[in-house]
Every structure is written in C-alpha cells, then in structure tokens.
Amino acid sequence: MKLDLVDVFGTGPLSGNPLAVVGGGEELDTPQMLRLTQWLGFSETTFLLPPTDPAADYRVRIFYPAGELPFAGHPTLGSAFAWAAAGGRPRRSGVVVQQCEAGLIEVRLSGDMLSFAAPPFTRYGPLSEDEAAEAARIAGVDPAAIVEAVHVANGPKWQLLRLASAAEVLAASPAARAPIGTDVGLAGPCDPGSAADWELRAFFANQQGVLVEDPVTGSFNAGVAMHLFASGLARGSYVAGQGQATGADGRVMCEQDESGQVWIGGRCAMVARDGELPNL
C-alpha cells in the first residue's frame, strides 16, 4: 500500500485542504480504514480500489473521523489527482469516472486543475424554524442575521445559512461541541473587487462531538453552488473563498454549463508521494 498527501483547493503551497490517499485500499477492512483516518486526523482520508462498475476508472471509499461518507468534494478531486499521478489513464481523455457510494462522479482533468460534476441533492429545501435555530447556535451566528436557511445535502447532510455579507460569515463564533453528524455551513457575498465572489465556512462534528471547521469543502461548495444557480443568486460562474478562519486560503471555481450541470473545481498539489504503509 502507498500513501499520498495531496493539497486540494489551495492558492499556493500548503494553503488548501489536506487529503491522505491510500493506494491498494483493498488490503484493508472497514475498521482499519476508519482507524487510519482517525489517526491521521485530516477531515477525510480516501482508499483507492479496483472498480466494480465497468464504466468507472477506479473506486474510492471516503472516510472522515466519525465514519464513512458516500461522497465528498475535496476527496474526489484529490483522489482523482493521486490516481492519475500514479499512472492511471482514464477511458475518456481528460475525464476520470470515479465510483463511490453516491454513484459515478465525473472529474475533469487539466493538469493541476480538476473539477467534479456536482451530484444531485439528497435533500433540498428550507430548514424548519427549529433546525435553523439549532444551526445558528452551532455556527455561532445571530438568527436574525440569517437571510436564508436551506438543506443542501449531497452525501454529507449540509445545512446552509446564507448571511448578508462575507464579513458576517468571517465574524461567526461557532460552538465548541455539536452532535455527531452535524454538517452546517455559512455563505455570504464578498465586497466588489474582492479575490472571491462568495465567502464560505463549513463545520462538522468529529467522533468525540467536537466541532471542527473544515478548511475548504468541495461538497458544501457544490450544494451552495447548485442552490445559488437555481435561485438566480449566481449566473454562469463564480469564485468562492474558504479557509481564512483556519489559516488556509482556498479558492473554489463554481460553474454551471449550458446543460445545467454544476462543476466544482480547484487546484491540486502533491505534497508527499508513495509513502510506504506497513500492515495495519
């Protein structure tokens, strides 16, 4: 087995969201995968396996410290990048087909810039009054400041709280703890002339119920982008920023093509490659 470390969505060295990618994941069982994920401590770790669907180029299992996810965004881009760096060749030039628990996900390859086709929502629609109040408590925002509260689940069970500005997003003071399974995020528009058009923050609870802020989150960006495009709050394409509160400096390219498909992209960089993993 080999271990690669990939930086996803960064704007420079070590500025994005780190991902561990394990090649030869078929040698591990589920408890071993989870244990390694928890020990590494990243928001997610992925395990590459041979595909079982003939249309896929590879299969991936995606773990976060509290369990397994059917889909996640930065692990999708980082896994595709690591698979290609290890010599993987897609059936279609420039397009990798990833098999995961959420189904088949297309990933476009263009050097170190990758983008995935946002999967359909598994839940979409307004939060209830109680859900919005609890999400506001967890995220540390005044409920009166919420412009809109929406389910944008696509694997992770993301709840979006849209605020009036990027400044309000960055000023949020999240709680220390939250129920396991919490996936809450914030989004607000940036001032004209900023490096990004929207600023995002995303929070999840780890296996101890500690609330963790994710540096840059592909799945949340996908849900937000699909909602913004569908509601007319964004058109064509935009750039999202994420990670300032964690010391990261992420940029996410969000685009809706002529067919209506939303694509979520960013830069990937190899930090360490082909690390040997002993028997676990």
Residue 129 has pLDDT above 80, yes or no: yes
> What single-letter amino acid sits at 121?
F
Residues 120-135, mean pLDDT to the nearest whole number: 97
Residues 89-115, mean pLDDT to the nearest whole number: 96
List, for residues 40-80, the tens digit of each pLDDT value: 999 999 999 999 999 999 999 999 988 999 999 999 999 99
Quote the tokens at residue 272.
């360490």
Global pTM?
0.95
- Please give the pLDDT value at position 276: 87
Q: What is the DSSP letter of 86?
A: T
Quote the tokens at residue 52.
């079982």
List, for residues 239-266, the tens digit of each pLDDT value: 999 999 999 999 999 999 999 999 999 9
List, for residues 195-226, the tens digit of each pLDDT value: 999 999 999 998 899 999 999 999 999 999 99
Q: Are strands 159-162 and 183-189 parallel, antiparallel or unpaired?
A: parallel
26, 27, 44, 134: the active-site residue = 44
Q: What is the CATH number of domain 123-264?
A: 3.10.310.10
Quote the tokens at residue 196.
């990004």
List, for residues 24-39, the tens digit of each pLDDT value: 999 999 999 999 999 9
How many angstroms separate the Cα of 96 from the Cα of each of 56, 58, 149, 181?
8, 8, 34, 30
Residues 81-102, mean pLDDT to the nearest whole number: 96
Q: Is 68 a catalytic residue?
A: no
List, for residues 156-181, the tens digit of each pLDDT value: 999 999 999 999 999 999 999 999 99
Residues 185-204, mean pLDDT to the nearest whole number: 97
Domain ranges of the chain: 2-116+265-276, 123-264
Q: What is the CATH number of domain 2-116+265-276?
A: 3.10.310.10
* Matching residue, tokens 């967890």: 138
